[in-house]
Amino acid sequence: MRLFADDTVLYHKILSPADTADLQRDLDALSGLESKWLMKFNPSRCQLLHVTLKHKPVEASYIIHGQTLELVEFARYLGVSPLTPN
Give pLDDT tens digits for 51-85. 888 888 898 999 999 999 999 988 776 655 555 66
Q: Which residues pair with 68 in a beta bridge?
A: 63
Element (H, E) at 46: none
Number of CB atoms found within 10 A of residue 27's CB? 19
Task: Tell me if 42 sits within 8 A of 19, measured CB to CB.
Answer: no
The confidence score (pLDDT) of residue 6 equals: 67
Confidence class for position 36, pLDDT limits 50, 70, 90 = confident
Q: What are phi and psi of 42, to 5 degrees?
A: -100, 105
Cα gap 60→21, rounded to integer Å: 9
The confidence score (pLDDT) of residue 86 equals: 56
Its pTM stands at 0.77
Averaged pLDDT of the chain = 84
